[in-house]
Amino acid sequence: MIADRYDAFLFDLDGVLYRGDEPIEGAAGTVATLRSLGKGLAFMTNNSSRTPEAIAAQLTGLEIEARGDEVETSALATAELLRSRAVASAYVVGEEGLRDALAAAGLSVVDGNAADADSVVVGWDRGFDYAELATACVLIQRGATLVASNADATFPAADGLVLPGTGAIIAAIQTATGAHAEVVGKPNAPIFRAALDRAGGGRPLVIGDRLDTDVEGARRLGWDSVLVLTGITTKADLDSNDPPTYVVERLDRLIEDD
């Protein structure tokens, strides 16, 4: 079976383990079987809005065993990058997960009344409005850098449609300022390397539903990948150039005998 060839399994979440509020068939059993085989696991997401503990609790509620220390988010990767650069303050367009990660890394998270900030940091924000857009634009004009936790234009909803993601917010800010955001999350390497560390190292397999983030990020690192056709990507989207290592209809194909 595919699982025999790898030590660490790095799972994307939405579209792979669940869709909206519903678990995807086969996800819980696959994760449980990999654990029973002694494989290393990490749960990796570009969604910066929630804390690792909240994500682990959601997975557990869907009967998918997970711990907070197994979760790597784009918020954590962004916070670590800014900490390593000694960035002191950030104006955040984003939710709890991003704010908490930045504060835990020692950054001062400023509000909309701040006269300046070292960086404007953008993540998914369901309350994003014109006032936040205006503040971000003013701070960037005053010298703040623009950093994005990820650039996903959309994410899958439970009804099969797609909704605007962080990339849509970034596009508004970039259009208004002419600035170009530095993107930290998938498909860029830091989040993948951090997830592999959480899984205990070894030979990794990246499992996702998106060609542009999950599969592309694995390709850049020379890692193998699995595209699961339960999320954004369909067979019609596949291209013969740089294909994933495996394409499967269901996640439990990983643990089936070849």
Q: Would you report the helix, strand and coil content of the chain in percent, each value rounded to 5?
A: 40, 20, 40
Contact 93, 169 (CB under 8 A): yes
Q: Catalytic residue, from 7, 14, 129, 214: name it.
A: 14
Furthest CA-CA distance within the chain = 61
Q: Catalytic residue, from 12, 100, 118, 224: name it.
A: 12
List the one residue out of 14, 213, 48 whose CA is nearest residue 123: 48
Query: Is-catalytic flag, 12?
Result: yes
Which single residue is written with the structure tokens 């924000």?
Answer: 125
DSSP string computed for 36-99: HTT-EEEEEES--SS-HHHHHHHHHHTT----GGGEEEHHHHHHHHHHHTT--EEEEES-HHHH
Cα–Cα distance between 91 and 119 in angstroms, integer?
6
Burial of 50 (0-12, 13-18, 19+ CB in 10 A): buried
- 26 sits in the region (left: phi over 0; alpha: psi -120 to 50; else beta) called left
The 8-class DSSP code of residue 182 comes to E
Q: Provide the annotated active-site residues.
A: 12, 14
